[in-house]
């Protein structure tokens, strides 16, 4: 089965900032630079128990692919998302530089979806990127790709101000 993805382009200047020493914070969340030693085991558990691997990566899970799903060697500046009040890990958000732009990616664990956490984390990271607070050189725009059938992700991207530019991509199933 062939799937395609939509790409969105971010309009700039939409969000307020607030930085903490080891990452970024919002009203409810802390975004810390992701660490395989601290975060990877929980992330793999969530990917395998939730059955979300396909929607995260656009292909069915194999042991080989799961081994490649890490935070430190994938070319993405990743931030693990934690609740500010409890320290509980609830997902991650990251930016992958591509020329003068960056592609945003994210994953929120199933129990924490539809509560605004991903929107809060993604908007904070986008703002940090454009304000020069990340480890990346700020570019001209942020893009995102998702499977066309992933309506929740498309809705999230629209809710943070990204507009549809449609760029096709094949995924494997």
pLDDT-derived band at 10, boundaries 50, 70, 90: very low
pLDDT at 8 over 60: no
Mean pLDDT of 99-104: 89
Higher pLDDT, 76 or 95: 95
- Cα-based torsion angle of the residue sequence 37, 39, 42, 47 in order, rounded to the nearest 10 degrees: -110
**Residue 55: what pLDDT?**
60
Neighbouring C-beta atoms of residue 91, cutoff 10 Å: 22
Q: Judging by beta carbons within 10 Å of its beta carbon (0-12, 13-18, 19+), is residue 64 exposed, middle or buried?
A: exposed
**Residue 136: what pLDDT?**
87
Mean pLDDT of 150-169: 76
**Residue 166: what pLDDT?**
53
pLDDT at 7 over 50: no
Closest CA relative to residue 78, chosen from 66, 99, 92: 92
Find the range with the poorest average confidence among 57-61, 69-73, 144-148: 57-61
Strands (E), the chain: 5-10, 19-20, 23-25, 29-33, 77-83, 89-98, 101-108, 141-147, 162-164
Contact in structure between 81 and 122 (CB atoms under 8 Å): no
Average pLDDT of the chain is 78
Mean pLDDT of 79-103: 92
Residue ranges of the domains in the chain? 5-164
Mean pLDDT of 21-50: 85
Most confident of 15-29, 38-52, 117-131: 117-131
What topology is assigned to 5-164 in CATH? Answer: Aminopeptidase (3.40.630)
């Amino acid at each position: 089965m062939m799937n395609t993805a939509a790409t969105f382009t971010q309009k700039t200047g939409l969000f307020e900032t607030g930085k903490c020493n080891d990452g970024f914070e919002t009203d409810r969340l802390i975004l810390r630079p992701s660490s395989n030693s601290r975060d990877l085991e929980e992330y793999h558990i969530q990917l395998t128990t939730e059955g979300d691997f396909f929607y995260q990566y656009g292909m069915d899970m194999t042991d080989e692919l799961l081994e490649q799903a890490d935070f430190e060697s994938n070319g993405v500046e990743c931030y693990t998302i934690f609740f500010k009040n409890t320290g509980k890990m609830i997902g991650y958000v990251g930016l992958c530089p591509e020329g003068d732009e960056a592609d945003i990616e994210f994953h929120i664990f199933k129990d924490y979806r539809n509560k605004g956490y991903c929107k809060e984390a993604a908007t904070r990271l986008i703002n940090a990127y454009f304000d020069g607070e990340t480890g990346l050189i700020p570019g001209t725009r942020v893009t995102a790709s998702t499977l066309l059938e992933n309506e929740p992700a498309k809705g999230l991207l629209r809710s943070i101000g990204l507009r549809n530019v449609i760029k096709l991509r094949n995924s494997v199933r």
